[in-house]
Amino acid sequence: MATYLMLFHLTQKGRETITEGPTRLEAAKQTLHALGVEVKDFYLLMGQYDAIFIVEAPSDETVAKAALTLGARGTVSTETLRAFTEEEYMRLIVGMNV
């Protein structure tokens, strides 16, 4: 399974209903699990983004569907990045002729 960073910004609706955040977090984890995405970690962030999920998914399409599903709820907007482990990085650069 591939690793992804799902970065979240709270929308105006998300900020206005922040006290419902813990319930939404659990619902998001359940939704992702049902779509075949495993949430490895969650962090609340300070700075440019409000929160992050570190997830594993079998394909780009699976994680894209997950991001669209969460975004459609109207409380967050998402940005998703594919993350490569150190081992994957090493495999990618072997034999590069630069």
Domain boundaries, the chain: 2-93
Model confidence at 97, pLDDT cuts 50, 70, 90, reads confident
State the burial class of residue 97 (Cβ atoms within 10 Å of its Cβ: 0-12, 13-18, 19+): exposed
Tell me what pLDDT residue 95 has.
75
Contact 15, 61 (CB under 8 A): no
Topology of domain 2-93 in CATH is Alpha-Beta Plaits (3.30.70)
* Rounded Cα gap, residues 42 and 4, in angstroms: 12
Give pTM, 2 decimals.
0.91
Between 35 and 95, where is the model more confident?
Answer: 35
